[in-house]
Structure 1
Amino acid sequence: MKKFFDHPLTVRAIAALISAYMYFVLVTSRVQVVTVVPAPLIAGPVVLASWHQQIPMLPIMNHPNPSKLLALVAASRAGALIRKVAIWFGIDAVEGSRRRGGLVGARTLIRAARSGHSLYITPDGSRGPARIAKEGATQIARLARLPLIPCAAWPVRGKTFNTWDRFRLPYPFGTIRVAYGEPLRMLTPAELGDALDALTAHVQETTTNSKS
Structure 2
Amino acid sequence: MNLRKKIENSAIINAAVSGALTLYLRFCFATTRWDIRGGEGFRQSVTEGPTILVMWHCAILMAPAHVANQKVKLVTLRDPSPAGNLSAGVQSRFGLSPISMSAKDTNLTASRKVLRHLRARGSMGLTADGPTGPARQLKPAPLDWARRSGAKVYTFGFSTKRHRILGTWDKMVLPLPFTSGAALFLEWDHALAKDADDTQRAADSAALETALTSVQDTAVQIAST
Q: How does 1:127-206 map to 2 (within 5 A)?
A: 127-187=132-192, 188-206=204-222
Q: How does 1:30-49 map to 2 (within 5 A)?
A: 30-33=33-36, 35-37=37-39, 39=41, 41-43=43-45, 44=47, 45-49=50-54
Q: Give the equivalent residue in structure 2 for 1:3.
A: 6
- Compute the TM-score of the two structures, normalised by the length of structure 2: 0.83
Superposed CA deviations along residues 15-44 of structure 1, whole A, max 9, x for unmatched, are 1111111111111122102x4457354242
Q: Give the equivalent residue in structure 1 for 2:32.
A: 29
Q: How does 1:54-133 map to 2 (within 5 A)?
A: 54-63=59-68, 65=70, 67-96=72-101, 101-133=106-138
Matched residues, number: 208
Secondary structure of the 2:60 match is: helix
Q: Give the equivalent residue in structure 2 for 1:16.
A: 19
Secondary structure of the 1:105 match is: helix
Is 1:50 aligned with 2:50? Answer: no
Alignment partners' CA distance in 1, 2:20 and 2:65: 19
> In angstroms, what is the RMSD of aligned CA positions?
2.3
**Residues 183/4 of structure 1: CA separation in 2 closer, same or farther (3 Å cut):** closer
Structure with bigger gyration radius: 2
Runs of at least 4 residues off by over 6 Å: 97-100
Q: CA deviation at 1:67?
A: 3.8
Q: Give the equivalent residue in structure 1 for 2:195.
A: none
Secondary structure of the 1:132 match is: coil
Superposed CA deviations along residues 59-107 of structure 1, whole A, max 9, x for unmatched, are 3442575541111132211111111111110011112278865222221
Q: Which residues of structure 1 form unaligned runs of 5+?
A: none
Secondary structure of the 1:159 match is: strand
